[in-house]
Structure 1
Amino acid sequence: MPEGAEIVDRNGDVVEMRVSIPGDEHGFFGRQCPGCAQMFRVNMEDYEALPEEIELWCVYCGHHCDHSDFMTQQQKDRALRAVADLGVQMVGHVVEDVFGGRSRTRSRSRGSGFGVEIRFRSTPFYPQPLPGLDEEKLVRERKCADCALRYAVFGEHRFCPVCGPLASAVVSTDALGAETARLDGLAQLPAEVRADLREKGVFTRIWVDTLENLVGIVETLAGAVFRAAVADAPARLNGKGNIFQRLDDTADLFVAAGYADLRTVLDAPTWQRLTESWAARHVFTHNDGVVDARYLTKVPGSTARLGQRLTITEASCRQAILDAGALCHAVAALT
């Protein structure tokens, strides 16, 4: 057998074989979801410590099934090479048994004089090395707060490979990090590319999208925390629409359920900046950024006039991300 493959058991015609899956220089190896086909990586030491019969979760789509179904294509190819080599040898042994393990010639003639001759000579088998693995490399190690499994992902994810759905606070932290990383990526573009994108309004659209995303991140977290903590949450939320998109209404909802007031948990300047960011997001989402009476009511100190179009900056977006992070931390700490 080639290095990395071994026969561990024989039972009649059934052969049990073990083929090693090498890890990378960090001790991680690949897993591939049989549902969405996306890749992630898991620490080998942590993985080997898991129970033999365990289901894995796809970190991206949440598909979960037996861990053996998460082999990558390169891992399957490596195992199939070992199986093919074993098959060649098993066939060779059968032929040797037929011919007695030595060279032999058989001929047979019929009335026409036609003859058939068979020659066989046994030769040693030398298996080729198993193919290595060249899969996507580790970028950043993550560690599940619940099961301590170390793993790595290559995109937005919502699940731990072992525990399943991640805590809402973890999801919000990752999402806020993605918003910051997106702005950092823009800052690293070549000057001529930045100038072209800025002239076409791409930067402005990204900043607007950032505000929209921040509201969504807080809405998702606050909703998850409230529903998990408040026994009669469905009744309290009935008929209130997208209440977690509205800052004061969200604060009032938690207060009515017996929790601290977010407006006092956070300092006044942070809450005021959040109010302004949420109001700006509403104007851009529903009125193409044109200031209306509702905006001026929410932001009475604004220098913008009715009918003017708001302008936003990278600096204001970065501050909004920090403020949203403080709000998420406060929401998660309420319960």
Structure 2
Amino acid sequence: MPVNFDIPDRLEISVPVEGDDDGYLDKECPNENCLSQFKILKDDWDRIEQSGQVVCPFCRHEAPPGSWWTTEQIEHAKAMALEQAKHLISTQLNRMFKDIASDFNRSQRSNSFFKMTMDVRETGRPPPVMIPAAAAETMRTRITCGKCGCRYAVIGTAYFCPGCGERDVEAAFSAKIAKIRTIPETIEALRAVLDKDQAADLANTLLEDAIKGGVTQFETMAKYLYSQINNSGRIRQNLFQNLTDGSLEWEKVTGVPYTVYLDQQEIDRLNVYFQRRHVLGHNDGHVDEKYVVKSGDQSYQPEQRIVVKVDAVLEFAALLTKLVSGMRGSVSSMAPPGTEGH
């Protein structure tokens, strides 16, 4: 007897994807050289889907909205599809054996002394429930794009808005400061799960990176603010890595030196951190005579190595925040109404 399987060539299923506790959806960059994961608030994702393109916050790769499933979501969908296929095959096998049994039973003679019947008991499983793909844990750094309002979250530092592709300097600076402020909790967490040596090494890396990355983010932020009020051309490379030179140039275009935003003692402290950044970035943290002269820091001598403490990075973050806040205020007072931040 011929047996036909009524199984479609293509099986399509719909697997729901749930957001985290705060309504953010997991996404992953489809660029194989990146594959970074991030989150977008569901309401904003629904809006972005209509635009036709999504931008990776880390590498700025662009792709259609259907390309941003995470590896975990894809694996979960495969597992759900396999369960659906198993159920479909099981259903078809039960139907086939029932047909065989029915034909066999009809073939038996009713007046026969000896009669056999065949009975098929279904062993198939119930249809699988499409369990939503679980959301990853909440990401700590949340950003709202200053241009389009897209709300997204990352681990680490993001550079572009996934909604509009804008390089959001303001958001990146705020995220960097926020990350520095969480360093004490991060170090405690490391100590809880790692041995002492590993925890100490990672803590030192976090603290040193806070100084190096903080100066870099300030420089980017200062150039951005500077461009809001001066479109005359390029500025000198690394100008805003030097507090003295940066203050002089800033005063030329705003009439306000850094000493209006910070008192001299705060300027001196911030200069120490800027000079430490140079030593950490270019001399592996080893002090030389140039550092002692430029920083005025008498707590170190040449050949010693900079040691960064938690209190120091918190003070550094507070000073940067205060300086940038003052610079923002000067830009706002000079910009025509409605043009601040554009």
Query: What TM-score, normalized to structure 2?
Result: 0.67
Residues 160 and 166 of structure 1 are in contact (CA less than 8 Å); yes or no, is this contact kept in structure 2?
yes
Q: Among residues 265, 279, 294, which one is paired with 2:261 in the alignment? A: 265
Name the SS for the 1:37 alignment partner.
coil
Q: 1:57 to 1:223 in 2, by over 3 A?
A: same
Match status 1:216 vs 2:212: no
Residues 16 and 130 of structure 2 are in contact (CA less than 8 Å); yes or no, is this contact kept in structure 1?
no
The alpha-carbon deviation at position 257 of structure 1 amounts to 2.8
Name the SS for the 1:225 alignment partner.
helix
- AA aligned to 1:162 is G
Q: How does 1:193-212 map to 2 (within 5 A)?
A: 196=197, 207-212=207-212
Structure-2 separation of matches of 1:186 and 1:254: 37
Identity among equivalent pairs (%): 20
- AA aligned to 1:221 is M
Residues 143 and 151 of structure 1 are in contact (CA less than 8 Å); yes or no, is this contact kept in structure 2?
yes
Match status 1:249 vs 2:245: yes
Unaligned runs of 5+ in 2: 1-8, 105-119, 332-342
Residues 29 and 68 of structure 2 are in contact (CA less than 8 Å); yes or no, is this contact kept in structure 1?
yes
- AA aligned to 1:178 is K
Look up the match of 1:172.
Answer: 173
Residues 283 and 295 of structure 1 are in contact (CA less than 8 Å); yes or no, is this contact kept in structure 2?
no
- AA aligned to 2:129 is P
Structure-2 separation of matches of 1:305 and 1:149: 46
Q: Among residues 27, 31, 52, which one is paired with 2:23 in the alignment? A: 27
Q: Among residues 305, 322, 328, which one is paired with 1:326 in the alignment? A: 322
Look up the match of 1:232.
Answer: 232
Structure-2 separation of matches of 1:270 and 1:329: 14
- AA aligned to 1:161 is P
Structure-2 separation of matches of 1:23 and 1:333: 38
Residues 82 and 130 of structure 1 are in contact (CA less than 8 Å); yes or no, is this contact kept in structure 2?
no
Q: Among residues 271, 276, 298, which one is paired with 2:272 in the alignment? A: 276
Residue deviations 1:285-331 (CA, integer Å, cap 9, x gap): 556543525633552xx545874747555233332222122223333
The alpha-carbon deviation at position 66 of structure 1 amounts to 0.9
Structure-1 separation of matches of 2:222 and 2:59: 22
Structure-1 separation of matches of 2:43 and 2:302: 61
Name the SS for the 1:326 alignment partner.
helix
Structure-2 separation of matches of 1:84 and 1:214: 50
The alpha-carbon deviation at position 213 of structure 1 amounts to 2.7
Unaligned runs of 5+ in 1: 1-12, 106-120
Name the SS for the 2:182 alignment partner.
helix
Q: 1:204 to 1:161 in 2, by over 3 A?
A: closer
Aligned pair count? Answer: 300
Structure-2 separation of matches of 1:306 and 1:82: 66
Structure-2 separation of matches of 1:148 and 1:305: 46
- AA aligned to 2:241 is Q
Look up the match of 2:160.
Answer: 159
Residues 20 and 136 of structure 2 are in contact (CA less than 8 Å); yes or no, is this contact kept in structure 1?
no
Q: How does 1:39-78 map to 2 (within 5 A)?
A: 39-50=37-48, 52-76=50-74
Residues 279 and 287 of structure 2 are in contact (CA less than 8 Å); yes or no, is this contact kept in structure 1?
yes
Alignment RMSD (CA, Å): 4.5
The alpha-carbon deviation at position 253 of structure 1 amounts to 1.7
Q: 1:38 to 1:231 in 2, by over 3 A?
A: same
Q: 1:260 to 1:185 in 2, by over 3 A?
A: same
The alpha-carbon deviation at position 220 of structure 1 amounts to 2.0
Structure-2 separation of matches of 1:39 and 1:68: 15
Structure-1 separation of matches of 2:204 and 2:88: 66
Look up the match of 2:287.
Answer: 290
Look up the match of 1:10.
Answer: none
Match status 1:138 vs 2:134: no
The alpha-carbon deviation at position 49 of structure 1 amounts to 4.4
The alpha-carbon deviation at position 170 of structure 1 amounts to 1.4
Residues 280 and 306 of structure 2 are in contact (CA less than 8 Å); yes or no, is this contact kept in structure 1?
no
Higher mean C-alpha displacement, 200-209 vs 318-327:
200-209
Structure (1/2) with the larger strand percentage: 1
